[in-house]
Amino acid sequence: MKNIIKIMPLLVFLSIGLFVVGCSSSETSKNANQETMSKKLYTCGMHPNVIQDGPGNCPICGMNLTPINSPMVEDGSNNMNTSNSTEKKDILYYRAPMDPTYISPQPGKSQMGMDLVPVYAGEEAFGATVKINPSTVQNIGVRTAKVVKMDLEQNIRTIGRVDYDETKVGLVQTKFNGWVEKTYVNTTGQKVNKGDVLLEIYSPQLVTAQEEYLDTYRRLKDVEKENRVSTIDNLKSNLMSIRKRLENFDISNDQIAKLEKSNVAQKTMAIRSPFTGIVDKKHIQDGMEVKPGMKLYSISDISSVWVYADIYEYEIPWVQDGNGATMTLSYIPGKEFSGKVEYIYPYLDAKTRTLKVRLSFSNEDGMLKPGMYSNVNISSVPVKDAIAVPVEAVMYSGTRNLVFINLGEGRFAPRDVIVGIESGDGFYEIIEGLEVGENVVTSAQFLLDSESKLQESISKMLASRKDDNNNNNSEVNQIETKDPSGHNH
């Protein structure tokens, strides 16, 4: 019993010692892990110029930093597992963290005094191909879309202006001297039908022509009674000549028949409308003197109207003669008018850089008034089975049209394409450069483009250095294989 009591203090002392050693070992292991973590380089996905030893937050945006090489992953026990990162990789070259164009085959300092960062095998640039960490791809918001084959079409919306149909506008003019005795159509906008009396004119030329016609007509009747054949033929020829002169003065057959029946020359002659339509311009008043070639009325038929619309240059390929068109007016809600493209003008407006298009619309009910403004929708002929990508996928660099192809596993490659027409639903036709089913990048292309140019420059620099080294080695070998006498061994 006494021996047991003596041993107890010794056991307690040993237990305390083992506990202290265990804690010390655990603390040492923890410090070792932290030291291993602190030796890794971390960077910001949004600011690649931020590089530091160990994890932390970006001093610019506050985001969590991500490891540059072989990032650590968490295992199921929430402990950092570094077994996947212990694999040793070959270092290809070193680059400056703040200036990736500065590379060196040996470790050292950059021009800014910063330690050069190693670039391992598998992380190097292959031409213009970009390789990005998946976490960085997510941070910069890279989105992709598939290249598809589809029908492209464009509905062109523009503003139109209703105007008269020029082929249905007529002028009433005089062909003789005279004075207006009375006007029957004396207001603009008045509707007239073909054959309606417009005005009466007194003209000495008309009175003389009527008297000559009546004199010849009376003589012809007398000769016909006497049956003198040769004289009859001459008088008929003279009568037809005078009648033709009256017709050239716009005297109708009915008026000539009335003249023969009355057998009296009229002081005034009525001028009738040769068209059906509305009077859009009136140039005379009662008592006015008129002369040959003077405009009296302008009469327009508005049973059909023209609509002028302007389209932009990029919309020109979609518009052709005969394309269908619809038109709506804000002051006639719920009514849609149907027409077609009748003519495309062969020149652009120098100020607006737009092309004028003329459309034709039926207007039998007279609802369309010249001078109205309207909303016009021109339909296009679809482009069948076109290879297409979203418009966001194409980058215009002045001399090149680029898209970035998603090669998978964080790799992206630029590709030159030939772009065709643009559809109305946000797609470009690709004439050459892409195949159906490929994935193209639709966002963050400018970041990929800058990185691609950087990678391409580095690849060229490495290739140039490799060629220089090969040339130097070749020269050294040639010198070593010659003896002092100049003979090769």
Kindly tell me if the per-residue pLDDT of 14 is higher than 50: no
Please name each of the domains of the chain with its CATH number.
139-153+384-467 (2.40.420.20), 156-165+301-381 (2.40.30.170), 175-293 (no CATH)
Better pLDDT: 445 or 164: 164
The DSSP secondary structure of 112-181, one letter per residue, reads: TSPBPEEEETTSS-BTTBEE--HHHHHHTT--EEE-EEEEE---EEEEEEEEE-GGGEEEEE-SS-EEEE
Q: Where are the beta strands (DSSP E) in 4-134?
A: 41-43, 51-53, 66-67, 73-74, 80-81, 91-95, 103-104, 117-120, 130-131
pLDDT digits (tens, 9 = 90+) for 251-276: 888 888 888 888 888 888 888 898 89
Task: Name the residue among 204, 193, 220, 214 with its Cα closest to residue 257.
Answer: 214
Better pLDDT: 68 or 350: 350
Kindly tell me if the per-residue pLDDT of 194 is higher than 50: yes
Better pLDDT: 127 or 56: 56
Which pLDDT band, with edges at 50, 70 and 90, does 357 fall under?
very high
> Percent of the chain having pLDDT more than 70?
74
Which pLDDT band, with edges at 50, 70 and 90, does 475 fall under?
low
Which pLDDT band, with edges at 50, 70 and 90, does 95 fall under?
confident
Kindly tell me if the per-residue pLDDT of 1 is higher than 50: no
Which pLDDT band, with edges at 50, 70 and 90, does 84 fall under?
very low
* Total Cβ atoms within 10 A of residue 238: 17
Compute the average pLDDT of residues 398-410: 83
Kindly tell me if the per-residue pLDDT of 476 is higher than 70: no
Q: What share of the chain is helix, strand, coil (3-state, %, to 5)?
A: 30, 35, 35
The model scores a pTM over 0.85: no
* Total Cβ atoms within 10 A of residue 170: 17
pLDDT digits (tens, 9 = 90+) for 438-472: 999 888 777 776 666 665 555 555 556 556 666 66
Block residue for tokens 């003249």: 259
